[in-house]
């Protein structure tokens, strides 16, 4: 297990790192209210709105996680010329994230969730999943002097095979949170971080150890991290596998655990952490996030406090 001294040393290096997130940026919109009656117009509940909130979602949530760990963070995704992009841009600015998003004819991806008495009643999505063919625009927006890239692929059209091929050719460190249907996009990457279900979607094998070794070899990855929810992570490097346990926590909000995990493991590896240290820090960070209500990020102080508790 990582020591507090090493954790502090590694986390201190984060502020000198420059990491770019490329992927499907989204704006999460929440409407909170109460239901007291059924509508006279149709057999549906009437929600009396009490408050609303916007949060950075998808690739923008990965960027938000990096920024809250003091990493110099850049984001590049596809947005629309619309109100959602105005809100997204101001949230990125608030979080100190360098905004390299490309304005296109597609709408900014937005998910509106209507929540009454802690219950989600409805979700409304604005999105256009057609692949973004003009991948040169993304490449031209990609700074040269960065330490690493995180590809955040939600299969909404930003990530294409041509793009990932270019990235692995021109950058030393490219990691991805993958979508099984895009398996061949991740060839020759430094690291991918599927969860167990996604890993099984990429390689038909029940035994995680055999699966991981085969998938890592097939895609020619340097590292493969299969996240196992409350059980932590199975980490494959060279021809070995190690399982690093997380401190299982009561889950309040599991969404975003994967985003926190990849942000922390990538920053840690780029900061010079040994692989077991990077896995420990990523497990700790993601564990903090699942146990929180309302916030999808963690920070230096919270991680350090949890290292000593291990
Ligand atoms: N209940 C839990 N207790 C402690 N840590 C957890 C728990 N659930 C998830 N984690 C941490 O989060 C990491 C990622 O979780 P998981 O494997 O569920 O990813 P995921 O399915 O990609 O998540 P997401 O819903 O964000 O996409 C785990 O490796 C672990 O470190
Ligand atoms: Mg995930």
Predicted local confidence at residue 45, as pLDDT: 94
pLDDT at res. 247: 83
The predicted pLDDT at position 198 comes to: 98
Q: What does the block give as tokens for 18?
A: 């420059």
**Does residue 256 have its Cβ closer than 6 Å to ligand 1?**
yes
- Check pocket membership of 231 for ligand 1, CB cut-off 6 A: no
Is the C-beta atom of 232 inside 6 A of ligand 1? Answer: yes
Mutate to test the pocket of ligand 1, among 254, 278, 295 (most ligand atoms within 8 A of CB): 254
Domains and CATH numbers, the chain: 4-27+56-109+127-308 (3.40.1190.20)
Pairing mode, strands 109-116 and 25-38:
parallel
Instruction: Output the residue whose Cα is nearest ligand 1's atom 18.
Output: 229
Q: Which of 237, 243, 303 is nearest to 268 (CA)?
A: 303
Pick the catalytic residue from 153, 177, 259, 280. 259
User: Would you say the CB of residue 124 lies under 6 angstroms from ligand 1?
Assistant: no
- What are the pLDDT digits (tens) for 102-161? 999 999 999 999 999 888 999 999 999 999 888 899 999 889 899 999 999 999 999 999
Cβ(230) – ligand 1 distance below 6 Å: yes
What are phi and psi for residue 60, nearest 5 degrees? -70, -25
Residue nearest ligand 1's atom 19 by CA = 258
Tell which atom from ligand 1 comes closest to the C-alpha of 232: 29
Quick check: is 259 catalytic?
Answer: yes
Write down the pLDDT at residue 295: 64
The model's pTM: 0.96
How many residues does this entry show for the chain? Answer: 310
The sign of the CA dihedral 82, 88, 89, 90 is positive
- Max CA pair span of the chain: 65
CB of 248 closer than 6 angstroms to any ligand 1 atom = yes
Q: Could you tell me if 74 and 64 are in contact, meaning their C-beta atoms sit under 8 angstroms apart?
A: no
User: Each residue of 129-141: b (16+ CB within 10 Å) or e?
Assistant: eeebeebeebeee
C-beta atoms surrounding 222 within 10 Å: 17
Predicted confidence (pLDDT) per residue in 84-98, tens digit: 999 999 999 999 999
Atom from ligand 1 closest to the CA of residue 196: 17
* Residues forming a β-bridge with 237: 223, 240
Kindly give the parts of the chain with pLDDT less than 70: 294-295, 309-310
- Which atom of ligand 1 approaches the CA of 193 most closely? 22
What string of H, E and C letters represents the secondary structure of the chain? CCCHHHHHHHHHHHHHCEEEEEECEEEEEEEEEEEEEECCCCCCEEEEEEEEEEEEEEHHHHHHHHHHCCCEEEEECEEECCHHHHHHHHHHHHCCCEECCEEECCCCEEEEEEEECCEEEEEEEECCCCCCCCHHHHHHCCCCCCCEEEEECCCCCCCCHHHHHHHHHHCCCEEEECCHHHHHHHCCCCEECCEHHHHHHHCCCCCHHHHHHHHHHHHCCCEEEEECHHHCEEEEECCEEEEECCCCCCCCCCCCHHHHHHHHHHHHHHCCCCHHHHHHHHHHHHHHHHCCCCCCCCCHHHHHHHHHCC
């Amino acid at each position: 297990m990582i020591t507090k001294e090493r954790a502090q040393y590694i986390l201190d290096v984060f502020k000198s790192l420059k990491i770019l997130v490329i992927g499907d940026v989204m704006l999460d919109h929440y409407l909170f209210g109460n239901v007291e009656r059924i509508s006279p117009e149709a057999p549906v509940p009437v929600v009396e709105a009490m408050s609303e909130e916007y949060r950075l979602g998808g690739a923008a949530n990965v960027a938000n996680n990096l920024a809250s760990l003091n990493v110099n963070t850049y984001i590049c995704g596809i947005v629309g010329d619309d109100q959602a992009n105005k809100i997204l841009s101001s949230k990125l600015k608030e979080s100190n994230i360098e905004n390299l998003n490309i304005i296109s004819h597609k709408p900014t991806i937005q998910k509106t969730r209507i929540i009454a008495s802690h219950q989600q009643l409805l979700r409304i999505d604005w999105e256009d999943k057609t692949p973004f063919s003009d991948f040169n625009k993304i490449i031209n927006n990609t700074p040269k002097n960065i330490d690493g890239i995180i590809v955040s692929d939600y299969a909404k059209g930003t990530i294409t095979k041509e793009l990932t091929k270019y990235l692995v050719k021109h950058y030393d460190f490219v990691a991805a949170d993958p979508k099984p249907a895009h398996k061949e996009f991740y060839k020759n990457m430094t690291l991918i971080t599927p969860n167990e279900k996604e890993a099984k979607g990429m390689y038909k094998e029940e035994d995680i150890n055999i699966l991981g070794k085969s998938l890592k070899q097939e895609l020619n990855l340097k590292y493969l991290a299969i996240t196992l929810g409350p059980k932590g992570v199975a980490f494959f490097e060279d021809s070995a596998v190690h399982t690093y346990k997380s401190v299982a926590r009561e889950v309040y909000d599991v969404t975003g655990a994967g985003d926190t995990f990849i942000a922390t493991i990538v920053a840690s590896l780029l900061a010079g952490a040994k692989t077991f240290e990077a896995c420990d820090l990523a497990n700790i960070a993601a564990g903090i996030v699942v146990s929180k209500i309302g916030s999808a990020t963690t920070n230096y102080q919270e991680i350090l406090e949890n290292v000593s508790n291990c």
